[in-house]
């Protein structure tokens, strides 16, 4: 009877150790896994924008977008140029930086339903 109990606890202990090791392996991601995940979320939306955490309004194409830092910097530069040239409308409006793309997309869904005049597209 003792021998059976010993065998039972031996296999139970081995099972628990294997389960803990597999959990540790799941937590640590390889470089390849991190890259594969980034491909899923770091993507080029079109010729002008890459996906990211910055919410902007594209005044020319009339839509909100969550774009990356590089695209947002381009928007800021284009807007400054249009203001300096005193153009009647601006190319885009940088609105807000969010903690991540997911938060930006959630906000994008909220603001896209607002059908108000986009005052930030026109200089005062």
26, 55: one domain: no
70, 36: one domain: no
The pLDDT, as a whole number, for residue 82 is 95
| pTM (two decimals) | 0.63
Structural domain span for residue 9: 2-41
In a domain, 46, yes or no: no
Assigned token pair, 6: 């010993």
Q: Quick check: 91 and 122 in contact, CB under 8 A?
A: no
36, 55: one domain: no
Q: Which residues contact 104 (CB under 8 A, 6 or more apart)?
A: 52, 53, 54, 55, 66, 98
Instruction: Report the number of distinct structural domains present in the chain.
Output: 2
Low-confidence ranges of the chain (pLDDT < 50): 6, 12
Neighbours of 104 (CB within 10 A): 24
The pLDDT, as a whole number, for residue 22 is 53
Q: Which among 107, 112, 116 is positioned nearest to 64, based on CA atoms?
A: 112
The pLDDT, as a whole number, for residue 6 is 47
The pLDDT, as a whole number, for residue 2 is 55
């Amino acid at each position: 009877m003792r021998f059976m109990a010993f065998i039972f606890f031996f296999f139970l202990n081995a099972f628990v150790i294997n389960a803990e090791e597999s959990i540790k392996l799941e937590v640590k991601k390889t470089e390849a896994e991190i890259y594969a995940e980034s491909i899923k979320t770091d993507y080029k939306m079109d010729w002008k924008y890459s996906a990211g955490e910055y919410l902007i309004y594209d005044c020319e194409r009339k839509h909100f977008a969550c774009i990356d830092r590089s695209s947002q910097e381009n928007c800021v530069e284009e807007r400054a140029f249009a203001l300096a040239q005193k153009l009647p409308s601006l190319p885009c409006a940088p609105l807000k930086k969010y903690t991540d793309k997911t938060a930006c997309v959630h906000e994008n869904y909220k603001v896209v339903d607002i059908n108000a005049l986009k005052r930030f597209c026109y200089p005062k």
